[in-house]
Structure 1
Amino acid sequence: MADNVVIYWRPGCPFCMTLKMAVRDRVERATWRNIWEDPEAAAYVRSVNDGNETVPTVVIDGVPHTNPSPLKVRKALGD
């Protein structure tokens, strides 16, 4: 698991599913936090998205990215 990548997501989100498919061979390298099951995760997402629960929100090396490109996340997860 990559300590430097945290992916905030929720079930049914098409953008989250697109990201998950794009990183499918690296999915276990990230920490995945379901905002519907984790109130702290939901609060964090709202804090970096003007009060909105916009997902996927991906934190790479401590910097949040709202709906980043799958390529950016793949690069962060390494080879």
Structure 2
Amino acid sequence: MTRSWTLPLLLGLSGAVIATGLRLLGRGTGAAAPVLLWFLVMAVLYSPVIFPRSVSAQEARRLSAADGRPVVFWRPGCKYCLRLRFRLGREAGRLHWVDIWRDPAGAAAVRAVNNGDETVPTVLVADRPYVNPDPGWLRDRLSEAAGGGGTAPDSAG
């Protein structure tokens, strides 16, 4: 099991334990079901399931060189990665996603541009790194011609 599934599994297990405890204490299904549902929703949000299929850093760079689309380095459980993913909507599928917990080369690439830190999301647009870019700015890069361009985004993080 990779560590990308550790948090979702812990959330699901915690929800089951708490819901079972509520049932055993006589609180009934009315109290246990919403608690379990909340934990399961959080488990899905923090899992790799809602992100487009991850590729290796090497494959992402090769694809990006061919089609000009940005590469996003991310990891499960990152709230900034979730924000980026949800705010991009369907456009997220047009990006090349690299899960740094599954790809050591991806993690090394992120550390190389972030002074040794694994700060995500780190996005490569035309081989230039941007840390936690504004989703609107990134969406604009997707609509531009291959290779991107434009001005740098404001970083938040």
Please tell me the TM-score bracket, short chain as reference: over 0.9
Aligned to 1:20: 85
Partner of 1:32: 97
User: What RMSD in Å do the two structures reach over aligned CA positions?
Assistant: 1.6
Work out whether residues 35 and 42 of structure 1, in 8 Å CA contact, stay in contact via their aligned partners in 2: yes
Distance in 2 (alpha carbons) for counterparts of 1:3 and 1:10: 22
Between 1 and 2, higher relative CO (CA 8 Å, sep ≥ 6) is seen in 1
- 1:54 corresponding residue in structure 2: 119
Is the strand fraction higher in 1 or 2? 1
Give the Cα–Cα distance (whole angstroms) in 1 for the partners of residues 125 and 87 of structure 2.
Answer: 16
What is the TM-score with the length of structure 1 in the denominator?
Answer: 0.92
TM-score, normalised to structure 2's length?
A: 0.48
Structure 1 runs (4+) deviating above 4 angstroms are: none
In the alignment, structure 1 segments of 5+ residues that lack a partner are none
> What residue number does 1:7 align with?
72
Structure having the higher helix fraction is 2
Of structures 1 and 2, the larger Rg is shown by 2
Letter aligned with residue 81 of structure 2: C
Question: What do residues 40-64 of structure 1 show as CA deviations (whole Å, max 9, x unaligned)?
Answer: 0000000000000000000011110
For the 8 Å contact 2:80–2:120, the answer to whether it is kept is yes
Q: Unaligned regions of 5+ residues in structure 2, if any? A: 1-62, 145-157
Q: Which moved more, 1:62-71 or 1:48-57?
A: 62-71
Alpha-carbon distance, 1:3 to partner: 3.5
Count of residues paired in the alignment: 79
